[in-house]
Structure formats: structure tokens, C-alpha cells
Amino acid sequence: MQSMAVFRGVVIGTKDTSNSKRVLFDVLENWKGANQSQIIIQTGLGGGDCGIDFQVGEEYLVYASEQLLSDSDNYLSTGICDRTIAVQSVENDFDILGQGMSPTKDVELEKEFNRVFPEWMVTGFWTFVSCLGIFGVWAIWSIRRKAK
């Protein structure tokens, strides 16, 4: 298999971003790379970008590839050119894959899935605000000191 992850899961949430769609799955069965109870996959928005129109509550057999975002941040993605398909439309994949495994690691990814901004952006914002506050206090102290 060339996919980084292969699993059967139920969609429990979808979220459009500026250029893709994030999909949160409850993993039911794992063949490769999805040993957690939940996983987040990215796909295109559809309409020419190869995205899959995942439906909440539906069960899918997902074949996902790893995409490099930066040196330290990778994510899994799938699209219409992968074998990802709704379970009711699967023909012989399960015969070829054989028995999958149950997830071995129990995780809750809803908080991460619903996060609006990446953690580094939030941290950077509060660092900037703190520095601005410290500079403001220093400036007021300097002005008052010179006025004496």
C-alpha cells in the first residue's frame, strides 16, 4: 500500500477552511497508520480541487497520504484520486485488506478540530500583546520620570 493511513471510520464533523476541508473521523477499524480512536483528514473543497464531499454520520473506507506542511507539521489528506469511498459502495477492498485492527490509542480530537487558529498564532498574538503592554508601562514610567 502506498497510503500512509488506511482505515474505516464514521465522519463526526467537517469544517471548511480557506482552501480545504477538515474532516474528523471516529476510527472503527485500522489497517495502517490510524491507531487512534479519532483522526483528522484534509481534503479539497470540491469543484475541481479533487475534494471528497464527506457527509457527517456516513461511514467511509479512507486511504490517506501524508502531506508536508512544514518541517515539523504534516497532515493526512485524501481526494478523489485515492481509493477513499463510502463503505456501502465498497466492492472487494475488504477482501483484499483482510481483518483490520481496532484503534489502540483513545483520543479526543474535537477541541483540536474546532480550533479556529493554530496554537502558534494564538501564542504569538498574546506574546505581542504582552510586549506591547510592557513597552507601554515603560514609556509611561519614562515620561513621568523625566517630568520630575
pLDDT of amino acid 130: 80
pLDDT at 97 over 90: yes
Q: Can you list the positions of beta strands (E) in 17-87?
A: 21-32, 38-43, 59-68, 74-77, 85-86
pLDDT of amino acid 118: 56
DSSP character string of 96-124: HH-S-B--SB----HHHHH-SS-HHHHHH
pLDDT at 117 over 80: no
* Confidence (pTM): 0.71
CATH 3.40.50.1820 describes domain 5-116 = no
Give the residue-averaged pLDDT of 51-67. 93
pLDDT of amino acid 132: 82
d(CA 86, CA 108): 23
Residue ranges of domains in the chain: 5-116, 117-148
